[in-house]
């Protein structure tokens, strides 16, 4: 049996597949045309942010399982996979701690002006310490939008580790569950935006729905507030955010995800000084990469053995897939 590895995963995931007798192969590139050419004799595929489109799925005549390296499956055509009777699995929570720590590090970098002060010292400007405008996280209010595993980890670190007050907006989670952690449950997004010093986004993307944080939402935020997005680029109107930052209305932003990745050289946030940027690296710690690779590879092994994988995002496809398991 073969598993197509569209983009590199940690060696421990590869080792797990190979120990199960699965040959790991790679396409010429992560482009969907090359993936479609390589997938024909593969029973499984593991992809990262390159995703898997309908044409590549259709080319996988022997395909029995699609693994998404991470929690998100928005780059995989799940509907096409379901029509073909192919289950799609993901790895929710495997990178939660890693992403949560990036959120806190971005908040710290912005409140402590780490990048600005580093540049000042390198330029010989020791007196920058007298006009630093530094702030503490303790006592500040963090607004968490989305209370999945990453949002919960961020809230936990912020409240227990830094003494921050935490507000949460997550319509799918009962208010009592949020309040049980000592957090304030907001009933609408506007309420959270108006009352938070730092807003951190942890909602999945919703293709075609438009940005969650548009110019109107940005206008509701406190003057000088920070916006941190480590979830999905499409959640934020990036042009409106850049304008708000340049106008001095917001105090800064931390951005790990973009509507187009990688962002073009003329992206509106590239030349904004009070922004910390990262290349969609929130889940890329060594520890998270191991957890994620092992989790997705383990589910591939389970599926190819005829067992039910742990995290199937389209369970309605299971009947069709299990019917193709060799007897």
Q: Cα Rg for the chain, rounded, in angstroms?
A: 22
Integer angstrom CA distances of residue 100 from 40, 158, 213, 256? 38, 9, 20, 12
**DSSP three-state, residue 67:** strand
Peptide bond into 262 cis (omega under 30): yes
The 10 Å Cβ neighbour count of residue 160 is 12
Phi, psi of 67 (to 5 degrees): -105, 130
Classify 28 in phi/psi space as left (phi over 0), alpha (psi -120 to 50) or beta.
alpha
280 noted as active-site residue: yes
Residue with tokens 């593991």: 46
Q: 3-class SS at 225? A: coil
Structure tokens that stand for 286 in this block: 């060594």
> Is 261 an annotated catalytic residue?
yes
Pick the catalytic residue from 136, 261, 307, 316. 261
Say if CB 282 and CB 230 are below 8 A apart.
yes
Q: How far apart are the first and last CA of the chain?
A: 15
The single residue of 232, 267, 291, 311 carrying the catalytic annotation is 232
**Catalytic-role residue among 83, 194, 249, 280:** 280
Catalytic residue list: 232, 261, 280
């Amino acid at each position: 049996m073969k598993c197509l590895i569209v983009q590199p995963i940690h060696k421990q995931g590869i080792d797990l597949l190979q120990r199960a007798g699965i040959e790991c192969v790679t396409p010429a590139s992560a482009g969907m045309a090359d993936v479609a050419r390589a997938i024909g004799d593969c029973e499984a595929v593991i992809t990262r942010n390159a995703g898997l489109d309908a044409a590549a799925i259709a080319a996988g005549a022997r395909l029995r399982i699609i693994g998404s390296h991470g929690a998100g499956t928005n780059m995989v055509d799940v509907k096409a996979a379901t029509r073909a009777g192919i289950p799609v699995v993901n790895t929710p929570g495997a990178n939660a701690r890693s992403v949560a720590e990036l959120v806190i590090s971005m908040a710290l970098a912005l409140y402590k002006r780490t990048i600005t002060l580093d540049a000042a010292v390198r330029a010989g400007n020791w007196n920058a310490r007298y006009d630093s405008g530094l702030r503490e996280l303790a006592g500040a209010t963090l607004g968490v939008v989305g209370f999945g595993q990453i949002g919960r980890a961020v809230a936990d670190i912020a409240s227990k580790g830094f003494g921050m007050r935490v507000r949460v907006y997550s319509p799918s989670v009962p208010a009592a569950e949020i309040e049980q952690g000592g957090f304030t449950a907001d009933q609408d997004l506007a309420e959270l935006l108006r009352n938070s010093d730092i807003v951190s986004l942890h909602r999945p993307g919703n293709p075609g729905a438009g940005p969650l944080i548009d110019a109107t939402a940005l206008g509701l935020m406190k003057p000088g507030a920070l916006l941190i997005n480590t979830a999905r680029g499409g959640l934020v109107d990036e042009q409106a955010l850049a304008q708000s930052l340049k106008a001095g209305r917001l105090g800064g932003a931390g951005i790990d995800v973009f509507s187009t990745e990688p962002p073009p050289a003329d992206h509106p946030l590239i030349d904004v000084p009070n922004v910390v940027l990262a290349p969609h690296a929130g889940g890329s710690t060594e520890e998270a990469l191991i957890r994620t690779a092992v989790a997705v590879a383990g589910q591939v092994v389970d599926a190819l053995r005829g067992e039910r994988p742990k995290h199937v995002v389209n369970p309605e496809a299971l009947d069709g897939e299990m019917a193709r398991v060799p007897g």
